[in-house]
Structure formats: structure tokens, C-alpha cells
């Protein structure tokens, strides 16, 4: 989001027109591209540690994002007035992505994506203590209905419940917290600048994890998500390095598409189409892994999506939503 548009966004003024059809096209294209990143991470999760993937991806994306800052708002905007707030937001985003990627190593992609879409529900709940917003009883019912969808997917007390299924929900909580910080920061700083600092944080935190865990000293006996976390650093071959590098390119160009989607369309009209990522996740999971979401996941995902769309509708009706015109803070994929 360009620097000059920040004040308009803070005031709730549409930024760059109202071409809903073009905005939805940008959005669906961006989400489709990002779905391949999740596939790549899942494919590599049995060989590499998560900190290695995050660090290398960040290094690949860094120059691309740097160029994007130049053309979006200018290098001078990298000098921010609230660096510690940026650091806190970026670290929450890092924890969110680490936990989501760990989930990919242990549970189906469609389940992880469905559970992560509790983020809008968590954002609604956290907006009360963090932003002082008023949330009416109708939106609370929407939140409650969405979390009932989570219970349908998790099926507490069943033999199929895994602790790893809680990771996407934890990721959504961290993401929701970071997004609310982003709402405050977005009044003064562009989305590209926040993306730049987030990416730098990913690189440094990935490197710190590699220094502590990179020798694999704690990996003995670990399986699934824990193995993905504690595994020793592995030198990638040419194909593997190309796959990791691709995630950095995806992060950059996908982000640009999503930003453009919300620049040319109103957020409350465009945001419901973010749930189309469940279609891409299901299709790609079937193509690459031969798996489809089970009945419980489909029902629960439908409930979560319905509650999220209803909350967006209520925000638009009440004209209380700070997300209007501020698309980059609505999607999981935007602030990488």
C-alpha cells in the first residue's frame, strides 16, 4: 500500500476505485499462487528443518521485496517511527508461520488451512482489548459458530485427535495479534514496508533457530512436526534449492497480487473470496498427495467460512470495520 494512501485507509476511504471483478481476479490468482508454497513446504518437510526453509526463503525474497518498497513507497519510508512495534508484529508473524508450517508436516493441508481460517474470529475477539472496538452480540454468535466448526474438525475425545491439529489454531492466534498491530501501524507505514521488516525478522529468527537447533542434537526420536522443528540442517541439491527459492518468489509476487486486489476493490466485497483457498488446497492436495478432506473437515470448514463471511457482513453493515480498504491485513498470505 503506497504511503500516500495510508491516511485515506485510516479514515476508511476507498483507496483506488471499486472494480470488484478485477479485484477478485487478483485475489484468487494470488491465493492460487500461495497454495503452491504450502505444497512445497509440505513436500520438503520430511527432509529439511523448518528454520532452514524459512531462512533461505527470506533471503531469496529480500531483494525482491526491497525493489517492491522502492516502487511502492520509496526507500525513505523504511525509516519508521515505531521500530519496536514493527519488531513485535514481525515476531508474532514469524511464530505464526512457524507453527503453521509445523502443522503441514503432521496433518493434511486442507485441515491446516481450514483451522487457520479461525484468524478472522480471533481478530474480532482481540479487537476489544487491543483496539477498544465494540463487538455486538450478533458478531459474537458468529465467532461462537466458527469455533463450533473448529470442534467439528478437531473432534475432541476422538481417537483421531492429534496435538498437531492445535498448531494451526495457535498460528491463527499469533497472526490475529500481528494483524491488529498492523492496523495501528498501517495508518503511518505502508504494507510493503511492514512486509520488508517482517521478511528481515524471518531471516534473523531463522538463523537464530539454526544456530541452536541446526546440528540436530535434539532430534533423536522426534517425529512429524517435532522432527520438522528439530532436524539438523541439510545441504539441498539443485532441485531442492530451486523449490525453496520458488517459495521466496511466490511470497513476493503473491503479495503484490493480493495488495492490488484490495487497492482496486472494497475489502468487504473482496475478502469473502479468500475462502476460495480451500478449493485450491483441496485440488492440489489431491494432485500431489492423493488426499481429499474428510466429511468432518468439510463441514467444519464450511462453518468457519460462513462465520467469517457473516462477521465481515456485520462489520460492513455497522460501518465499524477498520478493515475496509485495508486488504493486506485480512489474509494469511499477505504479510510474509
What is the 3-class SS of 110-170, one letter each residue?
Answer: HHHHHHHCCHHHHHHHHHHHHHCCCCCHHHHHHHHHHHHHHHHHHCCCCCCCCHHHHHHHH
For the chain, 336 residues long, give each residue's pLDDT as a single digit of tens.
333 333 333 333 334 446 778 888 988 998 899 899 999 999 999 999 999 999 999 999 999 999 989 988 899 999 988 999 999 999 999 999 999 999 999 999 999 999 998 887 887 777 777 667 677 778 888 888 988 988 888 877 555 557 888 999 999 999 888 878 887 787 788 888 888 999 999 999 999 999 999 999 998 888 889 999 999 999 999 999 999 999 999 988 887 888 778 777 776 677 778 888 888 999 999 999 998 888 989 999 999 888 888 877 776 666 544 444 444 444 444 444
152 grid coordinates: 467439528
Q: Are 332 and 175 in contact (CB under 8 A)?
A: yes
How far apart CA 275 and CA 293 sit, in angstroms, is 15
Reference 94, options 237, 201, 191; nearest CA is: 201
Q: Which residue, among 103, 145, 137, has the nearest Cα to 121 in the 3D structure?
A: 145
Whether residue 112 contacts residue 297, with contact meaning beta carbons closer than 8 Å, is answered with no
Whole-number pLDDT of residue 10: 36
For residue 222, the model assigns a pLDDT of 87
Residue 63: predicted pLDDT: 93
Residues near 128 by Cβ (< 8 Å), separated by ≥ 6? Answer: 134, 135
Enumerate residues 6+ apart whose C-beta is below 8 A from 269: 20, 23
Q: What is the pLDDT of residue 161?
A: 59
Quote the pLDDT of residue 94.
Answer: 94
* Best CA proximity match to 106, nearest among 281, 231, 223: 223
Burial class (CB in 10 A: 0-12, 13-18, 19+), 109: buried
C-alpha distances in Å from residue 333, one per residue of 74, 164, 179, 214: 23, 21, 12, 27
Give helix 137-154 / helix 295-318 axis angle, nearest 10°: 170
Query: What phi-psi label fits residue 19: left (phi over 0), alpha (psi between -120 and 50 degrees) or beta?
Result: beta
Amino acid at each position: 500500500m503506497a504511503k500516500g494512501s495510508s491516511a485515506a485507509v485510516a479514515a476508511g476511504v476507498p483507496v483506488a476505485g471499486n472494480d470488484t471483478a478485477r479485484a477478485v481476479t487478483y485475489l484468487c490468482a494470488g491465493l492460487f499462487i500461495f497454495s503452491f508454497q504450502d505444497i512445497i513446504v509440505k513436500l520438503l518437510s520430511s527432509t529439511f528443518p523448518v528454520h532452514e526453509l524459512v531462512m533461505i526463503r527470506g533471503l531469496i525474497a529480500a531483494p525482491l521485496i526491497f525493489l517492491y518498497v522502492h516502487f511502492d513507497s520509496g526507500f525513505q519510508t523504511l525509516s519508521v517511527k515505531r521500530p519496536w512495534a514493527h519488531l513485535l508484529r514481525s515476531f508474532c508473524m514469524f511464530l505464526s508461520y512457524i507453527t503453521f508450517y509445523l502443522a503441514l508436516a503432521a496433518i493434511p493441508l486442507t485441515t491446516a488451512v481450514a483451522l487457520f481460517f479461525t484468524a478472522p474470529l480471533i481478530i474480532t475477539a482481540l479487537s476489544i482489548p487491543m483496539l477498544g472496538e465494540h463487538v455486538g452480540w450478533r458478531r459474537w454468535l458468529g465467532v461462537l459458530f466458527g469455533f463450533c466448526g473448529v470442534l467439528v474438525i478437531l473432534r475432541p475425545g476422538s481417537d483421531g485427535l492429534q496435538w498437531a491439529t492445535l498448531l494451526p489454531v495457535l498460528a491463527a492466534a499469533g497472526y490475529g495479534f500481528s494483524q491488529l498491530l498492523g492496523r495501528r501501524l498501517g495508518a503511518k507505514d505502508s504494507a510493503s514496508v511492514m512486509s520488508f521488516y517482517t521478511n528481515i525478522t524471518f531471516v534473523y529468527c531463522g538463523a537464530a533457530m539454526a544456530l541452536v537447533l541446526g546440528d540436530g542434537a535434539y532430534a533423536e526420536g522426534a517425529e512429524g512436526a517435532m522432527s520438522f522443528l528439530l532436524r539438523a540442517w541439510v545441504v539441498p541439491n539443485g532441485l531442492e534449492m530451486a523449490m525453496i527459492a520458488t517459495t521466496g518468489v511466490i511470497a513476493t509476487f503473491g503479495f503484490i497480487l493480493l495488495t492490488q486486489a484490495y487497492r482496486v476493490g472494497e475489502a468487504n466485497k473482496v475478502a469473502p473470496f479468500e475462502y476460495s483457498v480451500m478449493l485450491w488446497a483441496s485440488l492440489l492436495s489431491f494432485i500431489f498427495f492423493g488426499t481429499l478432506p474428510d466429511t468432518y473437515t468439510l463441514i467444519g470448514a464450511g462453518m468457519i467460512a460462513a462465520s467469517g463471511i457473516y462477521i465481515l457482513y456485520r462489520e460492513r453493515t455497522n460501518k465499524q470495520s477498520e478493515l475496509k480498504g485495508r486488504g493486506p491485513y485480512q489474509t494469511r498470505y499477505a504479510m510474509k
